[in-house]
Amino acid sequence: MTLFRQFIVRALVRDSRRSLATVAGLTLGVAVVIAIRLANAGSIRGFETALDVVAGQTSLEIVGAGVGVPDAQLAGLGWLREYGLVSPVIARTARLRGPDGVEHPLQVLGVDVLRDRPFREYQLLEFARGGGEPSAQELLALLLDSSSVVLTERFARRHGLDLESPVELIIGDRVHDSVVRGLLLDEGPARVVDGQLALLDVAVAQLLFDRIGWLDRVEIQLFDAGAIDDAEAAIAARLPEGLRVQRPAQRGRQVEKMLAAFHFNLTALSYIALVVGLFLVYNTVAVSVIARRSEIGILRALGTTRRTLLGLFLGEAALLAGLGVAVGLPTGWLLANGAVRLTATTVNVLYITSAATVPPLGLIDMLLACGVAMPLALAAAAIPAMEGASVAPIAAVRGTDRLESHDDGRRSRRAALAAAAFFAVGGWLATLGPVGGLPFYGLGATLAVIGGAAALVPVLLEVLRRVGRRLLVRWFGVEGMLAHANLSAAVRRLTVSVAALVVSLAMLAAIAIMIGSFRDTVTYWVGQTLRADLFVTTAGRGPAGPSPSISTEAEARVAAHSSVAAIDQFRTVDLTYGPDGDLIILGAARFEVLLEHGGLLFKEPADGRAAVARAIGVDAVIVSEAFALKQDVMVDDTIELDTPQGQRSFQVSAIYYDYSSDRGLVVMDQPTFARHYGNQRPVGLTVYLEPAADPETVREELLAALSPEFRLFINTNATLRAEVIRIFDATFAITYALEAIAIFVAIMGVATTLLTLVLERRDELVMLRLVGAGRTQIRRMVVIEAALLGVLSQGLGLAVGVVLSLILIYVINVQSFGWTIQFSLPVWFLVRSTLLVALATAVAGLYPARVAAGVAGREAR
Amino acid sequence: MTRRVWCIAILLYGAGAMLAAQEPGPVTTSDGWRLAEPGYTLQFPRDHGSHPAYRIEWWYYTGNLAAADGRRFGYQVTFFRIGVDPAPTNPSRWAVRDLHMAHLAVTDVSAEQHLTAERFDRGGVGWAGAREGTLDVWNGDWRVALDDQTHRVQAFDDRFGVDLRLEPGKPPTAHGDAGLSRKGAEFGNASHYYSMTRMPTTGQLRLDGDLVDVTGTSWMDHEFGTTFLEPGQVGWDWFSLQLDDGTDLMIYKLRRSTGQPDPFSSGTWVADDGAATPLPGDQVMLVPGRVWTSPSSDASYPVAWQLRVPSRQADLRVEALLDAQELDTANSTGVTYWEGAVTVSGRIGERDVTGRGYLEMTGYAGRPMSEVFR
């Protein structure tokens, strides 16, 4: 223990800057892993907790095909009471505007309180003083008026609302003047989504949400909750066509599945940051071993055993990793909060609206951080530590063990063979299909390619050693020659940190290429498909529920504008599809209008327009590429869709490109949709204007004509395109952020490696000064070494990055999201990043360069 | 017949029943409910059905039953319809025009058990309701309906229930003035009220999974109106008695906060042949006897009564078959009351008589009924 204090702790304290850098690197690694876990958990946690608490005592629920459960059908389901208590539910989202004029999203629960009380506890503030809950009648009396809304105490307090406060409830395109008639205590369902819950009577909810005649689901609380399997089977057997019984958790699983690919990819990215962080740990430990090589020799000469020495260095690694974990955990939590803000945008825009909150750090995070960081840090430390302990004492003291034996080419041949093997495995893995909708093998392929890239590093360094000298001399003179000599002498030492940098840079290049290609593809797609002049929508989607609809009156006002040439309505409902109950989107549009004005891009068949023309009015659909890929559907296949009348068959007429949702879209002609799903109000309008009309002017005029009764969002073609690209960029902001961290960590790794080399070459540097080298020359030499490593890494990184991007685009992306991305090289970005990397590594070399100049100067005197 | 009004009262916040201007045709309150007025003629089976123009309506079945082995039982099945909004503007099927409540109770005398259950629902998609024109009232799978002339009463909780067939027995008895029963001084504070006072009954009881064949006699009340109670009326005691000489007796006494009997208390004497004679409140003397205190509500109920009708030389002793026949509806209405099977003995003139019946006592627990009415 004394030895540990003197030998390790003192060294760490003495070299506090390097120790800090190490802990910082490790902290970053741990923090990124924890942050991604928390962020992933946070973005769906909002939905899951909402589900849990809102579901209350519900054991089973009846849901309909897309459009919900028709009241009329429910009348025949009186037999459900044989199994338990039955409660009708409308669950939607709305926005609420208080007296301060600020709008807040709300989950709205429309229930029949007479039936619902056994399901959920409603504790109202004004009844709490008298003790207990309000009676069913008291609650009903509060809710029956269609202007009544019950909010949560937490929400009200936060926004300065109280009983009898007037508020505006914004649902779809309508603004309703309401009054706060009750405040739910912060318990039970009121805790949902941070208190953003409003309680309505089911009849009022049907009216306000334009859902007269429909329920979103019917909940059942079984008399015998233990017999849930039997009850589920029995109810399923008795339900009429078009209705389905499921457990509330099913909804959560659907959402989870929907987000799984997104989160999987995010998590995979985060682990690259960790791997790079571990390279850094390796370097740090190596530096500490090398820097004290002579001390090791003395200790060994004094009789310290190898085991003790190994123990000392493992202890150091554990100490550093422990510090990294301790600081990394809270840092990760802070990072997660930032990340959730970024990912929440993506999740909201692409998937669901939910109040994402980062969960507090739990035991699992500590276990994860320790379980990942500790063993890997110890393993990374063990190798150089064993090397340090195995040094013969006399050699260590004299420093004669340092010089590497020159490679006879065998090692680099072995490395080249290993690289070839890695690439072959990677190529094979890339041909395998997804597992459970997740690209496990695709990810394996990227790992193999990364392994291959790492194996190529010694080959590259060997090539540099053999052929680089002349060029360096020509470009940088004597400093170039010296830099070449130094690097050539340290090929083995450099391999690890250069490999780390290569991997990070390759990932960055790959992701940049993929995102660039994707962005180009989407831009093209948007340009081709967004043909209408104006797009009219309402605000906000519900959690995995249909969008709010546009009322007849509002549509009439839009249609009445003199510049409007044609209007198409778009309807969507969420539908479960296939044996796994995947949540897909069923849309309806008028195919005739689509043919005349629209511009879908068809994947198959070649003449997509003719195929759409054939699908008019018949039981045929066109499906998005994502749907076709995920559900393994081809043109002319027949698919079975749930309708309120039961399952119906539809022929697939065409497959079209779509990048708006990876859930998969199925679109049918409006009359076909109406025939199967009834008259649903549209969720969006696409408006085509007279040729002479100015879209921006018409937009302003329409908004004026709709106000103040209706609240609709109108995008012009130009603003919608910009919006699509904005959403796209927001989606990938976090990807870039992650990669930036990885590269920062990698460059720090290069800097510490150079520091190692500098410390190792102490005697040579002194000798250089003695033979007349200036401090500037020595500094220049080290900076050239650094920049050289940066350029080499970037060169190999770019090459590997292109390979990785191909895997990302054609394997991982297709398996996760089902999108075709046209490959395109973002040349400018790559050129810029190359220059940046060279500059950054040169800058990172400044510190070791100063140390080198200092060492040489001090000792030469 | 003002009893049971309390069940509804909670829903009538500030009911204030303002009378609309007197116009030809039915008189309605400002919110559109029709008031009970003289001149309405009861017709059957039409008036067994629902009268949705009126705010409040109930169908009340009570009876004394016995099994072949001599075990005795009492039962009560009640359906209420309480109007909330005669013409909701919301077209949703879930919009609340009426609320539907139902109470079920079975007294197992030998087991000294009193089992109760309740239902409370909006009409919604037809899960509760009442038809017009004939007897068909339901709440979930609890139902009373006409099968030719027979009243079929079915109500099962998960532990117990009844499935009974009630024959008409005597013709319907219209109470008060040709079926108009005045409750207060103000115009319209009244109800249309008739009873089927002696209905031969057969059927089955279920008690914890055991089905028991029973026979006996039931009493049915049907009453509808819009406004009833007036301030100061704290509760009431109501008797429905079936004597072995063929006489049936309905008595109710409103209790005022002053402790005085309310002048609008009254009753009806139904002779063996079905001939009904109104009994004004001042012709009936009720003297409470032994008191039972409920362990759960701490309310003290007189479970034995001395009842005298001097004009008929009747002197009857009414006694509960089981003391503990209290219903606690705190989970829905928040009102606790006593309703149970009773036995009757005494003299009418020189004759000894015995009989069975039901007794209801309200306003003994919790808030006075006048406050419940607000």
Tens of pLDDT, residue by residue over A663-699, are: 788 999 999 999 998 878 888 888 888 888 898 999 9
Distance between CA atoms of B214 and B203, rounded to whole angstroms?
6
Domain limits, chain A = 1-55+257-402, 60-246, 472-533+716-861, 539-711
What pLDDT shows up at residue B163? 97
pLDDT band, residue B48 (cuts 50/70/90)? very high
Q: Cα–Cα distance between B116 and B106 in angstroms, integer?
A: 7
Contact A112 B122 (CB under 8 A): yes
**A-chain residues near B140 (CB < 8 A):** 78, 81
Q: What sign results for the dihedral spanned by CA atoms A139, A145, A146, A149?
A: negative
Least confident stretch, A47-61, A105-119, B250-264: A47-61
**Dist. CA A14–CA A4, nearest whole Å:** 14
The residue among B360 and A68 whose pLDDT is bigger is B360
pLDDT at res. A202: 93
Nearest CB to B94; choose among A81, A112, A135: A112
CA distance A196 to A178: 16
Owner of token pair 């749907």:
A627
Query: How far is it, in rounded angstroms, from Cα A333 to Cα A338?
Result: 9
Q: Mind telling me how many Å the CA of A259 is from chain B's nearest CA?
A: 35
Residue ranges per domain, chain B? 5-373
In the structure encoding, which two tokens stand for residue A630, read together? 């995920």
- What does the pLDDT read at residue B202? 97
Query: Degrees (nearest 5) of the Cα angle A739, A742, A743?
Result: 90
So what's the pLDDT on residue B78? 93
Provide the 8-state DSSP code for A547.
Answer: P
Chain B nearest CA to A205, separation (Å): 9
**What is the DSSP secondary structure assignment for residue B364, as one 8-state letter?**
S
**What's the gap in Å between the CA of A213 and the closest CA on chain B?**
7
Q: Partners of B200 in the beta sheet?
A: B217
Look at residue B3 in the predicted model and tell me its pLDDT.
46
Say yes or no to pLDDT of A446 above 60: yes
Q: What pLDDT, on the 0 to 100 scale, is given for residue A487?
A: 78
The token pair at A388 is 């340090």
B92 shares contact with chain A (CB less than 8 Å): yes
Residue A212: list chain B partners with CB under 8 A: 91-92
Residue A72: its chain B contacts at CB < 8 A? Answer: 125
CA atoms within a 13 Å half-sphere pointing along the CA-CB vector of A373: 35
Residue B10: the pLDDT is: 36
Judge whether A646 and A73 are in contact, CB under 8 Å: no
pLDDT of residue A404: 47
Q: What is the pLDDT of residue A325?
A: 86
Please answer yes or no on whether A88 and B94 come within 8 Å at the CB atom.
Answer: yes
CA dist., res. A146 & res. A165, Å (int): 15
Query: What percent of chain A lies above the pLDDT cut of 70?
Result: 79
Reported as a single tens digit per residue, the pLDDT across A752-781 is: 777 767 776 777 778 888 887 778 888 888
Which chain B residues touch A223 with a CB distance below 8 Å? 158
Band (pLDDT 50/70/90 cuts) for residue A16 is: confident
Residue A107 CB coordination number (10 Å): 26
Distance CA(A698)–CA(B370), nearest Å, equals: 63
B276–chain A nearest CA distance, Å: 39
- pLDDT value, residue A127: 66
Chain B positions in Cβ-Cβ contact with residue A75 (cut-off 8 Å): 125-127
Distance CA(A322)–CA(A302), nearest Å, equals: 30
Mean pLDDT calculated for residue range A262-275 = 63
* pLDDT tens-digit series, residues A164-215: 889 998 888 888 899 998 888 877 666 666 678 888 999 999 998 888 888 9
Judged by a CB distance cut-off of 8 A, whether residue B331 touches chain A is yes
Cβ of B332 and A137 within 8 Å?
A: yes
Terminal Cα distance for chain B, rounded: 20
Q: Is residue A542 pLDDT above 50, yes or no?
A: no
Q: What is the pLDDT of residue A262?
A: 61
| B120/A136 CB distance under 8 A | yes
Say if residue A84 is exposed, middle or buried (CB neighbours under 10 Å; 0-12, 13-18, 19+).
buried
Query: With pLDDT > 90 as the criterion, what percentage of chain A qualifies?
Result: 7
Whether B329 has a pLDDT exceeding 80, the answer reads no
Whether residue A349 is predicted with pLDDT greater than 50 in this model: the reply is no
| Identity of the residue in B96, B127, B333 whose CB atom sits nearest the CB atom of A203 | B96
| Residue A820 · residue A521 · CB < 8 Å | yes
Q: What does residue A76 show for φ and ψ, rounded to 5 degrees?
A: -85, 5
CA A208 – CA A90 distance, rounded (Å): 11
A-to-B residue pairs, Cβ atoms closer than 8 angstroms:
69
Dump pLDDT digits (tens) for A782-809.
888 888 888 888 888 888 889 888 888 8
In degrees, rounded to 5, the angle at the alpha carbon of residue A498 between the alpha carbons of residues A492 and A499 is 95
Q: Which residues of A583-622 are buried (b: 16+ CB within 10 A; e: fewer)?
A: bbbbbbbbbbbbeebbebebbbeeebeebbeebbeebbbb
Residues of A at the B interface, defined by Cβ within 8 angstroms: 71-72, 74-75, 78, 81, 88, 112, 114-115, 135-137, 140-141, 144, 146, 201-204, 206-207, 212-213, 223
Q: Which two tokens stand for residue A530?
A: 């967004």
**Residue B321: what pLDDT?**
95
Mean pLDDT of A726-741: 67
Residue B111: predicted pLDDT: 92
Say what the pLDDT of residue A365 is.
80
3-state secondary structure of A173: coil
Residue A581, pLDDT above cutoff 80: no
So what's the pLDDT on residue B24? Answer: 55
A284 and A18 in contact (C-beta within 8 Å)?
yes
> With bands split at pLDDT 50, 70 and 90, how would you rate the model's confidence at B357?
very high
Cα A658 to Cα A535, A574, A603, A655, B195, distances in angstroms: 17, 17, 10, 9, 72
Q: Could you tell me which chain B residue has the CA closest to the CA of A141?
A: B11
Q: Is A213 close to B95, i.e. CB distance below 8 A?
A: no
Considering only residues 7 to 26 of chain B, which have any Cβ-Cβ distance to chain A shorter than 8 Å? 10-11, 13
The pLDDT value given to residue A524: 82
Considering only CB atoms, which chain A residues are within 8 Å of B10? Answer: 135, 137
Cβ–Cβ of A206/B94 closer than 8 Å?
yes
Q: What is the pLDDT of residue A541?
A: 46
Pick from A115, A141, A212: CB nearest B91: A212
Provide the pLDDT confidence category of residue A258 given band limits of 50, 70 and 90: low
In DSSP terms, which residues pair with A150 in a beta bridge?
A182, A199
For residue A51, the SS3 value is helix
Strands A174-184 and A620-624: unpaired
What pLDDT was estimated at residue A46?
46
Nearest in space to B216 (alpha carbons), one of B79, B76, B322, B320? B76
Whole-angstrom distance, CA of residue A636 vs CA of residue A605:
10
| B145-179 confidence digits (pLDDT tens) | 999 999 999 999 888 999 999 999 999 999 988 89
Give me the sign of the Cα torsion angle A821, A823, A825, A830: positive
Check residues A352 and A168 and name the one with the higher pLDDT.
Answer: A168
CB contacts, 8 Å: B142 with chain A: none
Cα torsion through A284, A286, A292, A294, rounded to 10: -170
According to CATH, the topology of domain B5-373 is AttH-like fold (2.40.370)
Q: Does A75 sit within 8 Å of B121, measured CB to CB?
A: no
Asked if A72's CB is within 8 angstroms of B94's CB, the reply is no
Chain B residues within 8 A of A135 when measuring between CB atoms: 10, 331-334
Residues of chain B contacting residue A213, judged by C-beta atoms under 8 Å apart: 92-93
Residue A52: pLDDT over 60: no
Q: Is the model's pLDDT at B18 over the cut of 50? A: no
Q: Which residue has the higher pLDDT, A397 or B205?
A: B205
Contact residues on chain B for A81, CB-CB shorter than 8 A = 140-141
Which of the two residues, B159 and A515, has the higher pLDDT score?
B159
* Residue among B82, B89, B90, B157 with most chain A CBs within 10 A, to mutate: B90
* Rounded (to 5) percent helix, strand, coil in chain A: 60, 15, 20
Q: pLDDT value at position B171?
A: 93
Residue B96 contacts A where some CB pair is shorter than 8 Å: yes
Is residue B287 very low, low, confident or very high in pLDDT (cuts 50, 70, 90)? very high
Residue A692, Ramachandran bin (φ over 0: left; ψ between -120 and 50: alpha; else beta): alpha
For residue A119, give how far its alpha carbon lies from the nearest alpha carbon of chain B (Å): 15
The answer to whether B360 touches B339, Cβ cutoff 8 Å, is yes
B370 has a pLDDT exceeding 70? no
What's the CA gap between A141 and B137, in Å, rounded? Answer: 24
> Taking CB atoms and an 8 Å limit, are A114 and B120 in contact across chains?
yes
CA–CA separation, A490 and A779 (whole Å): 18
Model confidence pLDDT, tens digit, residues A705-715: 888 788 888 88
Q: Which residues of A touch B158 (CB under 8 A)?
A: 223
What is the mean predicted confidence (pLDDT) over A469-492?
A: 79
Q: Would you say A739 and A508 are in contact if contact means Cβ atoms under 8 Å apart?
A: yes
pLDDT at A464: 81
The string of pLDDT tens digits covering residues B180-237 is 888 777 777 788 999 999 999 999 999 988 899 999 999 999 999 987 776 777 888 9
> Which residue(s) pair with B261 in the sheet?
B255
pTM, two decimals, is: 0.72
* B92: chain A residues, CB-CB within 8 Å: 202-204, 206-207, 212-213
The overall average pLDDT reported for chain A is 78
Give the tokens for residue A263.
């989160």
Cross-chain CB nearest to B125 (options A75, A81, A204): A75
The 3 state secondary structure assigned to A800-844 is HHHHHHHHHHHHHHHHHCCCCCCCCCCHHHHHHHHHHHHHHHHHH
- Tell me the backbone φ, ψ of residue B23, rounded to 5 degrees: -130, 165
Q: Which of A521-525, B23-27, B329-333 has the lowest mean pLDDT?
A: B329-333
Rounded alpha-carbon distances, angstroms, from residue A25 to A29, A328, A499, A734, A742: 6, 10, 16, 20, 10
Angle between helical axes of A762-770 and A717-760 (0-180°, round to 10): 80
Which chain A residues are within 8 Å of B334, Cβ to Cβ? 135
Q: Which residues of B touch A204 (CB under 8 A)?
A: 90, 92
Question: Is the per-residue pLDDT at B20 higher than 50?
Answer: no
Torsion angle of alpha carbons A667, A668, A674, A678, nearest 10°?
-40
Q: Which residues pair with B212 in a beta bridge?
A: B205
Confidence check: pLDDT of A249 > 50: yes
pLDDT of residue A503: 80
Neighbours of B33 (CB within 10 A): 23
Residue that wins the pLDDT comparison between A4 and B30: B30
Looking at the DSSP bridge assignments, the partners of residue A651 are A620, A638
For A271, A329, A460, B193, the CA distances from A373, given in Å and listed in that order, are 11, 11, 30, 83
B120: contact with A, CB 8 A cutoff: yes
Q: Where are the alpha helices (DSSP H) in chain B?
A: 5-9, 369-373
Residues 6+ apart with CB under 8 A from A495: A457, A458, A461
Higher pLDDT, B344 or A440: B344
Per the CB < 8 Å rule, is A78 touching B127? Answer: yes
Query: What's the ipTM?
Result: 0.85
Residue A66 tokens, joined = 């897309």
- pLDDT tens digits, A813-828: 788 777 777 888 888 8
Among chain B residues, CA nearest to A111: B94
The reply to whether B140 touches chain A by the CB within 8 Å rule is yes
Contact B322, B339 (CB under 8 A): no
pLDDT at residue B284 above 80? yes
In the structure, what pLDDT confidence band is assigned to residue A273 with cuts at 50, 70 and 90?
A: low
Q: What is the dihedral of CA A331, A336, A341, A343, to 10 degrees?
A: 140
